[in-house]
Amino acid sequence: MSRASVSSVTKEQPPPVANPNTRSVLNDVRRKVTTKHGWLGDYDYRWLCLPSLPTGKRKQPPFYGLDDELPLVLAMASGLQHSLAMLAGLITPPIIFASSLALDPETSSYMISASLIGCGVSDHDQMSRIKLWKGYYLGTGLLSVVGTSFATLSTADAIFTAMYNNGTCPSTVGADGTVTRGSCPDAYGMVLGTSLVCSFLEVGLSFFPPRILKRIFPPMVTGTVIVMIGASLIGSSGILNWGGGSNGCQLRPTSGIYELCPTVGSPHALRWGSP
């Protein structure tokens, strides 16, 4: 890379775009909804539906920046695609938490709704990039999703297991030795309270310059943590769920609710590991 090309690289964020007046907005809306270019643009829609083959040569689609205008069809298709992609990641953690704590359907639905509402509010703040003081902002101003994290699953599962073992959460032992967990919503509240207290550490770290954070958390540290999180999830529930379940039926009891997976009352209940 030449000296000229190096000097042309900037690490500064783009300045905010000036707010358009009302007449300009109305003209843009009218142009969007009444012209073919406003609806379709010049985008190659094959990129949305067809796979990219190694031997094929296709024209690269245009790259849209933060404040660029998208054709309406492309914006709606991309928005639906992103919504469906992020929905599973937002509702899966509360579903797993509710299952681990044997919560009733009403509480599970409440947790999922709270997750979606909280993610919506957080997304708004993250993408709005609200100015605070002295060059600090709340949010990045980029299109992003702030949701519940899978990184908490392994830690929360260990906490829940410890609380059931020490009697904080109720559980019953069957005649065959099968342990059945009782409903324990207080355990989830304790995890939320702990997360709230620990969140102030993350808020404090956000005021550190990036170069310091990179020295504290180099790729060797962050990469190892992510690998351990994935390995922990697979080891504690992932592989067991592939076999039929991880709620007790993997022990293959000869009687009780977990004699079949996921439970004996399920529509297609089978023994753990059945094909």
The reported pLDDT for the residue numbered 24 is 78
pLDDT tens for 20-68 read: 667 777 888 888 888 988 898 888 888 777 777 777 677 777 777 767 8
Q: Is the pLDDT of residue 180 over 70?
A: yes
Which residue reads 């065959």 in tokens? 176
pLDDT at residue number 2: 43
For 125, 128, 129, 140, 206, the CA distances from 137, given in Å and listed in that order, are 10, 9, 6, 7, 10
Give, as one character, the DSSP assignment of residue 236: I
**Percent of the chain predicted with pLDDT > 90:** 14
Each residue of 250-273: pLDDT tens digit? Answer: 777 888 888 888 788 888 888 877
Q: What is the pLDDT of residues 187-208, one digit of tens each?
A: 999 999 998 998 899 888 888 8
- 71 and 45 in contact (C-beta within 8 Å)? no
Q: Is 181 in a helix, a strand, or coil?
A: strand
pTM of this structure? 0.61
> Alpha-carbon Rg of the chain, whole angstroms?
25
Lowest mean pLDDT among 62-71, 118-127, 167-176: 62-71
Can you say whether residue 274 is alpha, beta or left, with left for phi > 0 and alpha for psi between -120 and 50 degrees? beta
Calculate mean pLDDT across residues 118-133.
86
Question: What does DSSP assign to residue 250?
Answer: G
Q: Assess whether pLDDT exceeds 50 at residue 9.
A: no
DSSP structure class, residue 175: T
Look at residues 221, 102, 119, 212 and name the one whose alpha carbon lies nearest to residue 163.
Answer: 102
Name the band, by pLDDT with cuts 50, 70 and 90, for residue 107: very high
Left if phi > 0, otherwise alpha if psi is -120 to 50, otherwise beta: which for 142? Answer: beta
List CB contacts of 66: < 8 A, sequence separation 6 or more: 14, 141, 142, 143
Of 273 and 93, the structure prediction assigns the larger pLDDT to 93
